[in-house]
């Protein structure tokens, strides 16, 4: 282990001890060989520990340790059902009330980014920040045109701080994978690599501005989610300027209720937004803690979410997206055998796993919570059961899904705070069923064929030459070096595969041409039916070979 990594680990322990969090040190196996260094140090004996409750000391320690630790506190703060109330209340302060850096420093950073005085860019600029988070803080301002905006500024020195702690995480992941029995299954090195990409993306505010623009486009005209306008002329890598919104923080339930807000509708819309982002758009806001979500209540009966902070967004590989949707629908239908089959097909569990055993395990976890509102579900117990199942069946962690799982926990936590009677199953099921229906519709198929038409036509042009080469290959011409039964069988299988590909390509081209004929409203229709019949015949022939 590198010296600077070891020094950082010792510094983390020193901070925990100084804040009176000895229990966390004693509970951490990694630190057990090191903690005696501090317990035997006179500096620790006579050091005055920070005053305050356990929750306050934990929050202050995370703030002192830096942005990665603050982000951990933000993530767990949304799960009040899993935390003692005092700790949940204090960690919630990490969402937008991290100690700010001086406004004069922010002004200097802005002027360096623009190469001009703040007064030449903004008609007004408030040096007192509106909110401060782990990586950046936000200031109210007004453009020279009079438009109210917010200016987001990166904290100074963030790249060096984050790079240091990422190095620590990589070192710990390597140790865990090498010496921990659960390491290969939990894949800590890959998880840290995924997290590294996510946190480094947050340091580029131009990327965040692009994320906001995409999300705004996705929800334009829906009335579900409002995304502030980005002012591109004022955006730089370290500075971003957006429209200022005046909404009620999602955590301010007293104000929402006093205004007569339709809370059940608001909670249901949160679930709709999540599933729409993940499955219809495949582009989701992945940092949906309460500090980043506001509610617009011009019409309290039709409340709208307004999102800020778009530094973390997620997308899914189409294959993972399909398997996730199938898993959700199978759970909604209580088809636990299908859930087990999907885990096997996706490779998330070893191929030798017994289907009936996994089906029984999934049923044991899911059946007690089905059709229950959030208030009657103990997610802490469910998480423990799911962890037991994953260990029993040697289920590997999927690092590419970690961001989605974190977002789902955030959304569920918000729903629990807003409306504990929310029935997630009945709200989410129609959205997923509609998406799956659209995904398999003829219209979607034709749109896919039209999009891939150039590649299909290029393959069709090469098809005659490939067919001629395949037909020319005489049987039994293997060289003496390859004259074995196994290699001959392999050659036959390769030739059969080539035929399947050629027949499939020709069938796809005919299917495309038939679809284009119909879409062009050409008459008569018999050429389209003839092309469709020929395409199906070729595809079936390819499957039979």
Q: Is 287 a catalytic residue?
A: yes
Handedness of CA 365, 366, 369, 373 (dihedral sign): positive
Tell me the Ramachandran region of residue 150: left when phi exceeds 0, alpha when psi lies from -120 to 50, beta otherwise: beta
Phi and psi (nearest 5°) for 148? -75, 130
Q: Are the C-beta atoms of 190 and 196 separated by less than 8 Å?
A: no
Order the strands of the 225-226 sheet from edge to edge: 225-226, 304-307, 293-296, 248-249
Q: How far apart are CA 421 and CA 373, in angstroms?
A: 5
Helix axes 32-39, 3-18, angle to 10 degrees: 60
Q: How far apart are CA 256 and CA 55, in angstroms?
A: 27
Handedness of CA 178, 180, 185, 188 (dihedral sign): negative
What are the distances in angstroms from CA 366 to CA 206, 323, 331?
A: 42, 18, 8
- Which residue in the list 201, 287, 309, 371 is annotated as catalytic? 287
DSSP state of 100: P
Q: Among 477, 238, 57, 506, which Cα is nearest to 48's?
A: 57
Q: Among 313, 311, 265, 308, which Cα is nearest to 285's?
A: 313
The full DSSP string for 34-67 is: HHHHHHT-HHHHSPPPPPS-HHHHHHHHHHHH-H
Rg (CA), the chain: 29
Look-up: residue for tokens 């959030």? Answer: 374
Pairing of strands 248-249, 239-243: unpaired
DSSP state of 127: S
Beta bridge partners, 141, equal: 125, 149
Residue 265, token pair as written in the block: 């509708």
- Show contacts of 334-341: CB within 8 Å, 24+ apart: 334/366, 334/367, 334/370, 336/360, 336/362, 336/363, 336/366, 339/366
- The CB-side HSE value for 153 (13 A sphere, CA atoms) comes to 30
> Which residues belong to the active site?
287
């Amino acid at each position: 282990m590198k010296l600077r990594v070891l020094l950082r680990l010792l510094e983390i322990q020193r901070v925990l001890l100084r804040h009176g969090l000895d229990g966390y040190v004693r509970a951490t196996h990694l630190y057990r060989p090191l903690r005696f260094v501090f317990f035997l140090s006179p500096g620790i004996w006579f050091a005055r520990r920070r005053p305050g409750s356990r929750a306050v000391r934990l929050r202050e320690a995370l703030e002192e340790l830096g942005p990665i630790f603050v982000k951990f506190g933000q993530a767990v703060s949304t799960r009040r059902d899993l935390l003692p109330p005092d700790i949940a209340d204090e960690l919630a302060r990490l969402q937008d009330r991290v100690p700010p850096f001086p406004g004069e420093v922010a002004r200097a950073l802005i002027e360096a980014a623009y190469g001009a005085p703040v007064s030449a860019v903004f008609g007004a600029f408030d040096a007192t920040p509106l909110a401060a988070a782990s990586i950046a803080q936000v200031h109210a301002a007004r453009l020279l045109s009079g438009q109210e905006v917010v200016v987001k500024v990166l904290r100074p020195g963030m790249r060096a701080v984050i790079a240091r702690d990422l190095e620590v995480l990589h070192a710990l992941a390597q140790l865990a994978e090498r010496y921990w029995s659960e390491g290969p299954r939990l894949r800590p090195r890959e998880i840290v690599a995924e997290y590294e990409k996510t946190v480094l993306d947050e340091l580029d505010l131009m990327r965040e501005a692009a994320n906001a623009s995409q999300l705004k486009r996705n929800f334009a005209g829906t009335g579900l989610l409002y995304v502030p306008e980005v002012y591109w002329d004022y955006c730089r890598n370290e500075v971003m300027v957006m429209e200022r919104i005046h909404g009620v923080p999602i955590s301010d339930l007293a104000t929402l209720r006093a205004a007569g807000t339709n809370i059940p509708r608001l909670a249901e819309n949160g679930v709709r937004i999540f599933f729409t982002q993940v499955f219809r758009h495949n582009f989701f806001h992945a940092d949906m803690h309460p500090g980043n979500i506001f509610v617009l209540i011009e019409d309290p009966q039709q409340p709208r979410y307004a999102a800020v902070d778009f530094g973390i967004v997620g997308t899914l590989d189409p294959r993972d997206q399909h398997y996730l949707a199938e898993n959700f629908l199978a759970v909604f239908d209580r088809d636990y055998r299908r859930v087990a089959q999907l885990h096997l097909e996706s490779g998330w569990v070893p191929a030798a796993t017994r289907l009936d055993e996994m089906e029984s395990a999934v049923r044991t976890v899911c059946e007690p919570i089905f059709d229950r509102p959030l208030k009657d579900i103990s997610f802490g117990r469910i998480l423990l059961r799911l962890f037991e199942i994953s260990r029993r069946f040697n289920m590997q962690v999927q690092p590419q899904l970690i961001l989605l799982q974190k977002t789902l926990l955030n959304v569920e936590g918000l729903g629990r705070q807003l409306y504990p009677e929310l029935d997630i199953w009945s709200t989410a099921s129609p959205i997923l069923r509609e998406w799956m229906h659209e995904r398999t519709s003829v219209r979607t198929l034709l749109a896919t064929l039209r999009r891939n038409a150039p590649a299909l036509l290029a393959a069709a042009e090469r098809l005659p030459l490939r067919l001629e080469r395949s037909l020319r290959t005489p049987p039994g011409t293997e060289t003496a070096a390859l004259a074995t039964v196994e290699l001959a069988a392999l050659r036959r299988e390769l030739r059969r595969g080539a035929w399947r590909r050629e027949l499939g390509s020709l069938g796809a081209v005919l299917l495309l041409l038939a679809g284009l004929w119909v879409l062009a409203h050409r008459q008569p229709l018999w050429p389209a039916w003839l092309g469709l019949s020929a395409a199906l015949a070729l595809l079936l022939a390819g499957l039979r070979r």
